[in-house]
Structure formats: structure tokens, C-alpha cells
Amino acid sequence: MSFSLIDFLQALTAGILVGSAYALMCVGLGIIFGAMRVVNFAQGDFLMLGMYAAFYLTTGYGVLAFLGPYGGPIVAAFLAGPIVFAVGWLVHRFIVSRVTGSGAAASEGAGAYGQILTTLGLSLILQNGALIVFGSTPTAIRSPLSRSSWEIGDVLLNQGRCVSFLVAVVVAAAVYLFLGHTRLGKGLRAAADNSQAAIYMGIDVDRAHRLAWSLGVGITAIAGGLVASSQSFQPYTGFDFVIVMYAGVVLGGLGSILGAFWGGLLIGIVQQASTLVFPYQLQNTCIFIVFLLIIFLRPQGMFGRLSERT
């Protein structure tokens, strides 16, 4: 258990840089859970879709060609957002909306689990469908940025990660402003707070849910696009991130967007710091232990509230 101060600072900065992408994913998941109270199992797989979208944009379809190797991956990550947003929109329109929102009344039997099971089914289809379409060979987006670093003192800052840090923070801030200050965003929050009351106020709750769902998976896909340039991925990658995302969102407090951001960031730091003490392969196990500790000590998370009535 011996490591130097430099090691620690290195892990801390790496944690913040990686954590920013996690934070963005968590925000995406947080929007969906916050607005719809649906636990989305397939979130990791939409993230994976974002990775592949960014990958094919940079390598196959020429975005890279005129933006060069530096700008290409970043723009591709951005574009992955709207692409997955569109996919999410369709998925919600034809499948998810039937078990959530005003369609939820029909989902008796399996009851409240109907939603979670639907997303589990989606997850299996997306993962295994991706395996059929994209193959199982791990790929990565090659960017010269991710192979070079800035040096501050003895601490190395990976340039690719620094850029993705900036992008993540900007996107998260934009989402936060959108939810707080636009008519659409306020409607979405109202639908989240009390969907019955929102219906009476003339808000189209199903539409608000569709927006939340699509926005949630789109934002997570951008985060996926960002991560894709610094690590390799394959169709099953989504699952590695599901645990990261849920740990982050639960840590922040289920239902809180701001909490989700900080939770994700903290999970990034925990993950990187854990490599100082434990073997590299066990970093996700460490996240899981943090997850359990939260459940034990503060199940409402940092920003959440618990309420139960008899």
C-alpha cells in the first residue's frame, strides 16, 4: 500500500478527467430516471451505440477527412448524440411508451417490473444485435490527442482526456441550463415531479417522457463517443459502464441531475484511485463496493431525499 504523492495526484487528476465523462453518462441516466422513474437497463448499450456511431463517423464516413485527426473524434462524439437521440426516440415511440407514462396502466401482471424488464430486453437486443452487426473484435477511435500529454510538474495530463473533460462539462452545463430555463425543460421537470398534476396543467407527459428518454440516451451517447477515443470497446462494453453509471447516480441521489454529475465524477476518482491500492482488474469491483457502502450508509445519496408514507 505504498504510493507517492505524485502517484496520488496523478490518480486524482486522471480520476477527474475520466470522471467527467462518467458524470455526463450519469446525467443522461439521471434525466431518464428523474423524469420517468424508469430504471433503464439498456443505458450502457446506448452508450455503446454512441461509441460505434462516433467510430464510424471518424473512420468510415469522412467527417475525419476534413476536420483532421484532432477535431474529428470530438465532432464525431458530438454527432453521436443526435444519432442515438433519434434511435432513442423511435425505441420510446414503439416500445418503451407502452409500459411507461399513461400506457403504464396496461402493464399489470409483471407490474412495476414491466418497465425494467422491457429495458432489459432492449439491452439484450442491442448488445447481441451489435455483435451481429459490428462483430466482436475490440476497436478504438485513434486520435493523436490520446497519445500525447501535457506535463504539469510531474503530473501527466492526457490531452485527449483534457479535451473530453471540457466537452463533458460544457454539455452537462448546457443540459442543466436547458432544464432550468427553457419552457420545454420546465415542462419536463414538472412531468417528473408529479406526472398527474402535470397532465392537469396541460403538459403532454408522454411527449415529455419521450424527450427525457431520447435526451438521456443521447447525452450518454456523447459521453460514450468521448470515452471511445481513449479506450477500446466491443458490443458488450455497455455493461462495464452500467455499474459505473448506477453507482454514480445512486451516489448523487436518484432523481437529482446535479447529484448525478457529482456522483459520476466521484466514481471516476474512486476508480482511478483504487488502482493505487488494488490490482487494475478489480477497479470495477471497487466501484461496486462503494455502491454497497452508499446503500448501507446513505441510501438517499448526496442530493436525494427519502420519503415513505404509511
Partner 1 sequence: MRTRPESNRQRWAIAAVAAAVLALSLVLRSAYYELVLTQVLLWAVMSLGWNILCGYGGYFSFGHAVFWGLGAYTVALAMIYLNLSPWVSIPFCAVVGAVAGAIIGFPTFRLKGHYFALAMLAYPLAMLPIFQWLGFQELALPMKRETAALYMQFEDPRVYVVLALGLMVVALSISLWVENSRFGMALTAIKQNEPAAEAAGIDTWRWKMLALMLSGAIAAVAGGLYAVVLLVLTPDTVFGMLVSAQALILALFGGVGSLWGPIIGAMVLVPLAEGLNAELGNVLPGIQGVVYGVAIIVIILCAPEGVYWRVLDRLNRNKKPEPRATVAAAPVVALLQPRGTAGGDLLVLRGIGISFGGLRALDQIDLAVPPGGLYGIIGPNGAGKTTLFNVINGFLAPGNGTAEFAGEKITGLRPNRICRRGIGRTFQVVRAFARMSVLENVIVGAYVGAPDDTAARNMALAALDRVGLSVRADAIAGGLTTRELRLMELARALAPNPRLVLLDETLAGLGHEDLDGILGVIRQIRTDGTTVLIIEHTMQAMVNLVDHFTVLDHGRLIAEGKPNDVVRDQRVIEAYLGKKWVERVAATAN
- List contacts with partner 1 (CB under 8 A): 39, 41, 95, 98-99, 107-110, 112-114, 116-118, 120-132, 136, 235, 239, 242-243, 246, 250, 254, 279, 281-282, 284-285, 288-289, 291-292, 295-296, 299, 310
User: Which CB sits closer to partner 1, 65 or 297?
Assistant: 297
User: Which CB sits closer to partner 1, 113 or 150?
Assistant: 113
Least spacing, CB of residue 310 vs partner 1, in Å: 6
CA–CA separation, 242 and 306 (whole Å): 23
Least spacing, CB of residue 30 vs partner 1, in Å: 14
Least spacing, CB of residue 199 vs partner 1, in Å: 22
User: Which CB sits closer to partner 1, 100 or 146?
Assistant: 100
User: Which CB sits closer to partner 1, 98 or 186?
Assistant: 98
C-alpha cell at 102: 399513461
Instruction: List own/partner pairs for 125-132 with CB under 8 A and 24 or more apart.
Output: 126/42, 126/45, 126/46, 126/48, 126/49, 126/238, 127/45, 127/48, 127/235, 127/236, 127/238, 127/239, 128/235, 130/45, 130/48, 130/49, 130/52, 130/235, 131/235, 131/236
Least spacing, CB of residue 66 vs partner 1, in Å: 35
**Whose CA is closest to 115, among 35, 191, 175?**
35
**Enclosing H/E stretch for 155:** strand 155-158
Cβ(28)–Cβ(261) under 8 Å?
A: no
Least spacing, CB of residue 254 vs partner 1, in Å: 8
User: Which CB sits closer to partner 1, 117 or 258?
Assistant: 117
